Amino acid sequence: MADTPATPLTRAEKATAKRARRFDNPWLNPKLIWGASLLLGIVALGIIGRLLWNLELVFTGSSLLKIPPIGFENLRGQAGTLANPVGTDGAGRDMLALLIIGAPNTLFVGLMASMIGMTIGIVLGFTAGFVGGRTDDTIRVLSDVMITIPPLLILVVVQSVFGDVSLTLMSLLIAGFVWQSPTRLIRAQVLSMREAGYVQMARLSGASTSHIMFKEMLPNLIPYLFGSFIASVTTSIVTAVGLEVLGLGPQRVPTLGRTIYEAINAGALIQNLWWWWGLPTLLLAVMFIGLLLVNLGLDEVSNPRLRKL
């Protein structure tokens, strides 16, 4: 029933064909591509920066204090120089070096925490949905209770007890608060999938429980898992930055949140040192927009009804 036009295509028809191809291959989703590019941009900043820039400049007093980015002047009338292209902070640390190290660190905490959280979620969600009975009750109640506890409150207490924490430890602590929603989501999907025709067919085919769980069910959960993963990366980063801005994050490793904390502490807002707090905020915004776009894109990939032709 399909028509193949014999005449050369007009511009409008070419555009339609392009949209149709995009419809055909869902991974060519513009939102997904834009979102992924923004996130990769942050990673690239970290990698390329490490190769090209002198990271020694991240130490206190390595440069002049409160130098503005190139093309601007600070309140003392000093102009930006090539030595510190995006300025320095109130302790003489080079902003560019701070961002090169800090931005990937923040992303790392987010990814690490939600990776651990997802793994816990997959295991618990599958167990609850598949085993049922008491096990299901326990896991469900546990995750429901955990979901009502505000993570920041607990983390503030825990971190103030720990004092200085490493990035990994912080990821682990945050992971303790991002496994609940994947658990619930996967449990719900497994419960509805258990009755699906193909799972019944697999049981009829004498398949083992692990075969049904990992070969029949899991592949069909991938879109949900992806979506849930991205959502929990966002939550993890928000939590991590929240802690850092309160001054509770890692003390020796630069992160975006800690830079903002120091800027606020040193009165950067009153002194009009906008680059000090503005640049990390901008990078965080880029990260969140990237994550949001990836999430929206994945939604369209897994749900063809949202795709526009």
The answer to whether 205 contacts another protein (rule: CB under 8 A) is yes
The encoded tokens of residue 263 equal 């800027």
Report the alpha-carbon distance of residue 218 to residue 17 in Å, rounded. Answer: 34
* Interface residue with another protein, options 153, 204, 252, 270 (CB under 8 A): 204
Report the alpha-carbon distance of residue 272 to residue 290 in Å, rounded. Answer: 28
Q: Which stretch binds another protein (CB under 8 A): 121-129, 180-188, 204-212, 284-292?
A: 204-212
The answer to whether 220 contacts another protein (rule: CB under 8 A) is yes
Restricting to residues 146-175, which ones interact with another protein according to CB under 8 A? none
CB 230 to another protein: min, Å: 21
Q: Confirm if 67 and 84 have CB atoms less than 8 A apart.
A: yes
Q: Which stretch binds another protein (CB under 8 A): 73-81, 82-90, 135-143, 193-201?
A: 193-201
* Interface residue with another protein, options 8, 133, 163, 197 (CB under 8 A): 197
Q: Pick between residue 27 and residue 198 the one whose CB is nearest to another protein.
A: 198
CB 31 to another protein: min, Å: 18
The answer to whether 2 contacts another protein (rule: CB under 8 A) is yes
CB 18 to another protein: min, Å: 11
- Count of residues that interact with another protein, criterion CB under 8 A: 24
Q: Which stretch binds another protein (CB under 8 A): 29-37, 48-56, 200-208, 228-236?
A: 200-208
The answer to whether 9 contacts another protein (rule: CB under 8 A) is no
Q: Pick between residue 98 and residue 190 the one whose CB is nearest to another protein.
A: 190
* Interface residue with another protein, options 146, 156, 207, 238 (CB under 8 A): 207
Q: CA distances (Å), 11 to each of 7, 16, 17, 29, in order?
A: 12, 9, 10, 21
Pick from 243, 141, 238, 152: which is nearest to 184 by CA? 141
Q: Confirm if 105 and 279 have CB atoms less than 8 A apart.
A: no
The answer to whether 202 contacts another protein (rule: CB under 8 A) is yes
The answer to whether 4 contacts another protein (rule: CB under 8 A) is yes
The answer to whether 196 contacts another protein (rule: CB under 8 A) is yes
Q: Which stretch binds another protein (CB under 8 A): 86-94, 147-155, 159-167, 196-204?
A: 196-204
The encoded tokens of residue 201 equal 């067919």
The answer to whether 216 contacts another protein (rule: CB under 8 A) is yes
The answer to whether 200 contacts another protein (rule: CB under 8 A) is yes
Restricting to residues 226-245, which ones interact with another protein according to CB under 8 A? none
The answer to whether 1 contacts another protein (rule: CB under 8 A) is yes
Restricting to residues 10-49, which ones interact with another protein according to CB under 8 A? 16, 20-21, 23-24
Q: What residues make contact with another protein under the rule CB under 8 A?
A: 1-4, 16, 20-21, 23-24, 196-198, 200-207, 216, 219-220, 309
